């Protein structure tokens, strides 16, 4: 190490922490690492819930109107153990809601963002520790509201995860349109508040609290991904939050933001109306398309760090990678209308959205080719994190290519309500982002908990997940090309789709296998948590600042003042005797 002088501020923070109570240390903690781990465990629990909801959808499509084993009689006794058509729409709504709002967004920005940002920039904590604590605890009302929706009439919201009015605005629309839908809106609002609190903290911390020598272009790509994500959240979330309050006002106070004049549903009194249902779509997608990048930009950054580490090469084209992240984020704000091609928008406006959407392929291609350039010619180590990172790249390519179909207005109008769309976003968000999340857990687990996960079982987990995942989601493309509709509980009512039942059964078997394989991950995770081999500071021989801190880091993170001399990707440098060159190691001419 260049210096072993313990920073006085770190000493003071550690002393203050040592006298804290259990509640202040582990429950209502202001330590960014504890908050990150709280986010991690909470989101992994909801990941299980979201997966089980997905199996409910797959069961109905594979064996429609048949008794669901074990839990069918418990949950659907009135229907003789069968999923009711009304509950199928609940499954579709709540599966997407849980996976997007309670898993992908909080595990990336909440768990990894909190844990990694101060460590990777050389700070002792977040800029606003109390605000950081609140960003986690504002998720708990969201947990309550989304979970409580299952115990309301209809057993959950049923207007889809997009909650389009008037279905979501009229309490008489469906069994799940009453209190459950109100809870859904309140839950989304709480998630939004949590994310906004986090985004302010992330931006301030990255801009103001970098270690000496840590310029913006010495930041790891993980931090760039988190920084741009925080900007997206700061600018896009207020729009969705405002729209949520407007929709709540329509439901509870009889306002007419999204309800047309004289609308009546299920013999209800006519609404006062005067509003525009399409307004909700504009406001919702103005946030929710940038949200797609909130769900993938941090993953892109984390995968970049993993690929460089295990290819033992510098990242190919560091600055173009940074600019491509910025380009994706900027374009992400002007393409929301491609979700609305079937809404009857002006063709000229649709053409504008179409061209802007296709332009996103350019910065995305920069990232993909730079990842391939990073791996090409490297001394590749096929560790579990590397396998998941390589999987992310290949799955992102498939998801991106299928997205080009949807960018074209005439094509999207035909395939918009088919399983081709479902295949696309599952390849981007599960086959892409979730694989990056798994890889990142394996990669940073030693830093989080001071122990190593089992590599052999990690590779078994990867191989089986990869096989079952592609068996489930790639087949959806074929269904979509055949016109198989989404959101219908029994598409086989139409004879043209009856021959696709066997394919759906194959997909469901793969989906059951994919969920079951996560038991291997869970056992490996919790076993390693207590009995895994102890990890040193830098078990992967990586260059980033976080690997120079103890494993796990104490309060204050570093037991020396980190000073940064170079970027995070100087692998194979001739100035170093090893094949890695930590950011804190002084140049040769400065060493004593």
Domains of the chain by range and CATH?
Answer: 29-258 (1.20.210.10)
The residue among 338, 449, 428, 395 whose CA lies nearest residue 34 is 449
Do the Cβ atoms of 328 and 227 come closer than 8 Å? no
DSSP sequence for 188-226: HHHHHHHHHHHHHHHHHHHHH-PPTT--GGGS-HHHHHH
Main-chain dihedrals φ then ψ at residue 451, nearest 5 degrees: -135, 160
The answer to whether the predicted template modeling score (pTM) of the entire model surpasses 0.85 is yes
Say how far apart CA 238 and CA 345 lie, in whole Å: 25
- Residue by residue, pLDDT tens for the chain (592 residues) are 333 333 444 444 444 444 457 776 777 889 999 999 999 999 999 999 999 999 999 999 999 988 877 777 777 766 777 888 888 999 999 999 999 999 999 999 999 999 999 999 999 999 999 999 999 999 999 999 999 999 888 888 989 899 998 888 888 777 877 899 999 999 999 999 999 999 999 999 999 999 999 999 999 999 999 999 999 999 999 999 999 999 999 888 888 899 887 777 776 766 667 888 899 999 999 999 998 888 999 999 999 999 999 999 999 999 999 999 999 999 989 999 999 999 988 888 999 999 999 999 999 999 999 999 999 999 999 999 999 999 999 999 999 999 888 999 999 999 999 999 999 999 998 888 999 999 999 999 999 999 999 999 999 999 999 999 999 999 999 999 999 999 899 999 899 999 999 999 999 999 999 999 999 999 999 999 999 999 989 999 999 999 999 989 988 899 889 999 999 999 988 888 888 899 998 887 676 5
Say how far apart CA 470 and CA 493 lie, in whole Å: 27
Do the Cβ atoms of 200 and 128 come closer than 8 Å? yes
Contacts of 472 (CB under 8 A, 6+ apart): 426, 507, 510, 511, 514
Do the Cβ atoms of 448 and 398 come closer than 8 Å? no
The residue among 265, 230, 234 whose CA lies nearest residue 251 is 265
- H helices of 343-408, where? 347-359, 361-375, 384-407
Say how far apart CA 92 and CA 160 lie, in whole Å: 7
Say how far apart CA 86 and CA 534 lie, in whole Å: 51
Eight-class DSSP state of 434: I
Angle between helices 455-481 and 435-449 (to 10 degrees): 160
Count Cα atoms within 13 angstroms, Cβ side, for 462. 25
CB neighbourhood size of 267 (10 A):
6
Count Cα atoms within 13 angstroms, Cβ side, for 385. 22
Say how far apart CA 489 and CA 506 lie, in whole Å: 17
Main-chain dihedrals φ then ψ at residue 418, nearest 5 degrees: -110, 175
Residue with tokens 């391939």: 372
């Amino acid at each position: 190490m260049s210096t072993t002088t313990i920073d006085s501020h770190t000493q003071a923070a550690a002393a203050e922490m040592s006298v804290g109570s259990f509640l202040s240390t582990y429950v209502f903690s202001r330590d960014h690492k504890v908050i990150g781990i709280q986010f991690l465990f909470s989101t992994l629990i909801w990941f299980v819930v979201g997966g089980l909801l997905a199996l409910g959808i797959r069961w109905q499509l594979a064996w429609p109107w048949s008794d669901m084993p074990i839990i069918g009689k418990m949950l659907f006794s009135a229907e003789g153990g069968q999923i009711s058509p009304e509950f199928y729409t609940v499954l579709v709504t709540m599966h997407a809601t849980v996976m997007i709002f309670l898993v992908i967004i909080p595990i990336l920005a909440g768990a990894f963002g909190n844990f990694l940002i101060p460590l990777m920039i050389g700070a002792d904590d977040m800029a606003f520790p109390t605000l950081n604590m609140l960003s986690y605890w504002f998720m708990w009302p969201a947990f309550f509201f989304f979970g409580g929706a299952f115990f309301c009439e209809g057993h959950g919201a049923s207007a889809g995860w997009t909650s389009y009015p008037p279905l979501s605005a009229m309490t008489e629309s469906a069994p799940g349109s009453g209190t459950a839908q109100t809870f859904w809106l309140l839950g989304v609002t709480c998630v939004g508040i949590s994310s906004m609190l986090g985004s302010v903290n992330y931006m301030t911390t990255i801009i103001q609290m970098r270690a000496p020598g840590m310029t913006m272009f010495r930041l790891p790509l993980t931090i760039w991904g988190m920084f741009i994500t925080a900007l997206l959240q700061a600018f896009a979330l207020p729009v969705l939050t405002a729209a949520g309050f407007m929709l709540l006002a329509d439901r509870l106070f009889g306002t007419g933001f999204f309800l047309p004049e004289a609308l009546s549903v299920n013999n209800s009194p006519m609404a006062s109306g005067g509003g525009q249902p399409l307004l909700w779509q504009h406001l919702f997608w103005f946030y929710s398309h940038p949200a797609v990048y909130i769900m993938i930009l941090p993953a892109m950054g984390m995968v970049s760090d993993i690929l460089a580490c295990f290819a033992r090469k510098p990242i190919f084209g560091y600055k173009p990678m940074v600019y491509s992240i910025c380009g994706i984020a900027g374009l992400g704000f002007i393409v929301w209308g491609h979700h609305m091609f079937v809404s009857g928008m002006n063709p000229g406006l649709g053409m504008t959205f179409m061209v802007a959407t296709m332009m996103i392929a350019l910065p995305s291609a920069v990232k993909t080719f730079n990842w391939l350039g990073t791996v090409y010619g490297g001394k590749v180590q096929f560790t579990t994190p590397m396998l998941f990172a390589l999987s992310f790249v290949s799955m992102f390519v498939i998801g991106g290519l299928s997205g080009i179909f949807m960018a074209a207005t005439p094509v999207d109008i035909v395939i918009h309500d088919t399983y081709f769309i479902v295949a696309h976003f599952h390849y981007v968000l599960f086959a892409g982002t979730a694989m990056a999340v798994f890889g990142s857990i394996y990669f940073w687990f030693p830093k989080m908990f001071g122990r190593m996960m089992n590599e052999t079982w990690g590779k078994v987990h990867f191989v089986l997940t990869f096989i079952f995942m592609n068996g489930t989601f790639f087949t959806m493309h074929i269904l979509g090309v055949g016109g198989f509709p989404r959101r219908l509980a029994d598409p086989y009512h139409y004879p043209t789709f009856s021959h696709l039942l066997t394919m759906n059964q194959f997909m469901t078997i793969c989906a059951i296998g994919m969920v079951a394989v996560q038991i291997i991950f869970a056992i490996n995770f919790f076993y390693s948590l207590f009995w895994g081999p102890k990890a040193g500071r830098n078990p992967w021989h990586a260059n980033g600042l976080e690997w120079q801190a103890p494993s796990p880091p104490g309060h204050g993170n570093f037991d020396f003042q980190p000073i940064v001399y170079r970027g995070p990707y100087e692998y194979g440098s001739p100035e170093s005797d090893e094949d890695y060159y930590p950011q804190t190691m002084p140049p040769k001419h400065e060493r004593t």
